[in-house]
């Protein structure tokens, strides 16, 4: 004999207010392709083939150099980190061996990575990119690269130094992290 449970009748369900997504939630969950900015989740959009190519080349060159000169260091894409204000996913982050060993098991790094590159996409606003770079530097980053694929331009800033600008035909070198690394700007955009 099969027992059939009585049907439940209920009043229409009222939608409960959703709990706000906090910076702590971002640190714990870090949703893919999202950053936590000014109290809300924001999707990272606007990437182009040029953007992806510059990102891929820089990651490859940083990792190849690290394998020889800083074994155990790692360049990563979109690795989540917490800044003093936000939850971010830098386009590229280089983690020296000691930092990589400390954060490799974490969902989100507790501060900015030592070397970060942000690759500008057509939907990025310059002021926001520069503000993001300063935010990284104020949150433990030692060196930031802003990469502009369409202009074939790379800008570098450390906490102690003003912006340095590198363009086609020039060679760019790391200032504080991944010591001794250099690359022709043209190679990043080739």
Q: Is residue 115 part of a domain?
A: yes
For 96-154, write each residue's pLDDT tens digit.
999 999 999 999 999 999 999 999 998 889 999 999 999 999 999 999 999 999 999 99
- Global pTM value: 0.83
Instruction: State the Cα–Cα distance between residues 144 and 85, nearest whole angstrom.
Output: 17
Tokens of 22: 């906090």
Percentage of the chain modeled with pLDDT above 70: 90
How sure is the predictor about 41, in pLDDT bands with cuts at 50, 70 and 90?
confident
Q: Is residue 137 part of a domain?
A: yes
**Which neighbouring-strand residues pair with 116?**
93, 144
Residue 11: pLDDT over 50? no
Q: Is residue 104 part of a domain?
A: yes
Domain boundaries, position 142? 45-188
Q: Spell out the residues 6+ positions from residue 76 whose beta carbon is closer than 8 angstroms to its own.
A: 59, 92, 93, 94, 95
Q: Is residue 1 part of a domain?
A: no
Q: Is residue 81 part of a domain?
A: yes
**CATH classification at residue 153:** 3.90.1570.10
Q: Is residue 5 part of a domain?
A: no
Q: Is residue 71 part of a domain?
A: yes
**Token pair 């959009």 is at which residue?**
45
Residue 74: pLDDT over 50? yes
Tokens of 72: 């155990």
Instruction: State the Cα–Cα distance between residues 170 and 186, nearest whole angstrom.
Output: 8
- Number of domains forming the structure of the chain: 1
Q: Is residue 16 part of a domain?
A: no
Residue 1: pLDDT over 50? no
């Amino acid at each position: 004999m099969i027992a059939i449970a009585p049907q439940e009748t209920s009043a229409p369900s009222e939608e409960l207010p959703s709990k706000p997504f906090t910076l702590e939630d971002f640190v714990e969950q870090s949703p893919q392709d999202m950053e936590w900015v000014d109290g809300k989740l924001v999707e990272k959009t606007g990437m182009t083939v040029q953007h992806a190519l510059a990102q891929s080349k820089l990651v490859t060159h940083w990792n190849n150099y690290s394998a020889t000169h800083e074994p155990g260091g790692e360049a990563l894409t979109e690795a989540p980190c917490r800044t003093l204000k936000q939850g971010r996913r830098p386009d590229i982050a280089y983690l020296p061996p000691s930092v990589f060993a400390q954060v490799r098991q974490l969902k989100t790094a507790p501060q900015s990575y030592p070397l970060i590159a942000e690759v500008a996409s057509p939907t990025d606003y310059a002021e926001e990119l520069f503000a993001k770079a300063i935010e990284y530097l104020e949150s433990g980053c030692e060196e930031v690269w802003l990469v502009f694929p369409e202009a074939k331009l790379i800008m570098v800033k450390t906490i102690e130094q003003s912006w340095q600008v590198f363009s086609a035909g020039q060679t760019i070198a790391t200032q504080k992290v991944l010591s001794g690394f250099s690359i022709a700007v043209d190679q990043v955009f080739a």
